[in-house]
Every structure is written in structure tokens, then in C-alpha cells.
């Protein structure tokens, strides 16, 4: 994990955002569609593995199914794989290009930008079916 200084282009607050190199992690990240919370799912959790067995690929259906299995964020929003990044102070959307411009993060050039965390969501009791297994 690396911390980077980032200045929000909207509210101009400077704070740390964390990046992870996705290649070394067993994590799938989903962002809340209405706040800056990022949910980090362990891809070896039984819920995740069972879902993968059912679909046998990470396609659109897998993604929608995964999203529908999760409890809503504490703000009431829904965790989505493709939700935009948001500022944790003003909650405005931040373009990935803006993050790339400000932070020096190698993995960001590849198709998957790695894991960028502006705000972290709790992972307890995130599955609709019960606790995280």
C-alpha cells in the first residue's frame, strides 16, 4: 500500500489517498455510487468463490450478481464495480485522469488502474446472506 497526497479539484482540500498494486492483491474493490466509500472484498471468501463457480467468468452478469448480493453502503448507496471515484470531503466525482495527473502510480497505466482508495468502507456484514465468510 502506498499513500499519496492528492488535492481535490473541487474543494481544494489536500489529503492522502491509498493505492495498492492490484497484481499482488487478492482483493476486488467496489465503490459506493453515492459516497467515497470503497469496499474491499476478499476474493477468497466463500461468497465470492461460490459466485465465481456459478458464472465461471468475470463477465457483466457476474458483476451484477455480485453487486446484488451486497448490502447497501451505510450512506444508502449501492456498491458498484464501475462507480466513479469521489472526494471524501466534498463528495464530488473525481476523474481517474485527475488522479493520474496528481499521483505517480505505476500500475495506473494498465487497463486496471489498481486499487485507489479515497474512503474505506467497513467489510463487516456486507453480504446480504449474512456475515463475511
Our finding on whether 7 is near Zn ion (CB under 5 A) is: no
* Pick 49 or 75: Cβ nearer Zn ion: 75
Our finding on whether 32 is near Zn ion (CB under 5 A) is: yes
Query: Out of 35, 66, 70, 115, which residue is the one contacting Zn ion (CB under 5 A)?
Result: 35
Between CA 4 and CA 1 the distance in angstroms is 10
Our finding on whether 15 is near Zn ion (CB under 5 A) is: no
Determine whether 87 is exposed, middle or buried from the number of CB atoms within 10 Å of its CB (0-12, 13-18, 19+): buried
Residues 65-94 that bind Zn ion (CB under 5 A): 73, 75, 77, 87, 89-90
Asked if residues 91 and 7 have their Cβ atoms less than 8 Å apart, the reply is: no
Q: At 117, phi and psi to the nearest 5? A: -110, 115
Contact residues: Zn ion, CB under 5 A: 8, 10-11, 32, 35, 37, 73, 75, 77, 87, 89-90
Amino acid at each position: 500500500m502506498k499513500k499519496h497526497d492528492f488535492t481535490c479539484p473541487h474543494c481544494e482540500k489536500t489529503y492522502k489517498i491509498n493505492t495498492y498494486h492490484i497484481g499482488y492483491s487478492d482483493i476486488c474493490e467496489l465503490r459506493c455510487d453515492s459516497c467515497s466509500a470503497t469496499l474491499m472484498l476478499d476474493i477468497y471468501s466463500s461468497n465470492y468463490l461460490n459466485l465465481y463457480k456459478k458464472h465461471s467468468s468475470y463477465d457483466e452478469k457476474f458483476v451484477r450478481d455480485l453487486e446484488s448480493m451486497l448490502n447497501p453502503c451505510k450512506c444508502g448507496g449501492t456498491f458498484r464495480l464501475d462507480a466513479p471515484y469521489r472526494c471524501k470531503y466534498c463528495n464530488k466525482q473525481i476523474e481517474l485522469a485527475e488522479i493520474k495527473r496528481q499521483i505517480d502510480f505505476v500500475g495506473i497505466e494498465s487497463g486496471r488502474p489498481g486499487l485507489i482508495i479515497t474512503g474505506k468502507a467497513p467489510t463487516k456484514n456486507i453480504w446480504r446472506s449474512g456475515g463475511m465468510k
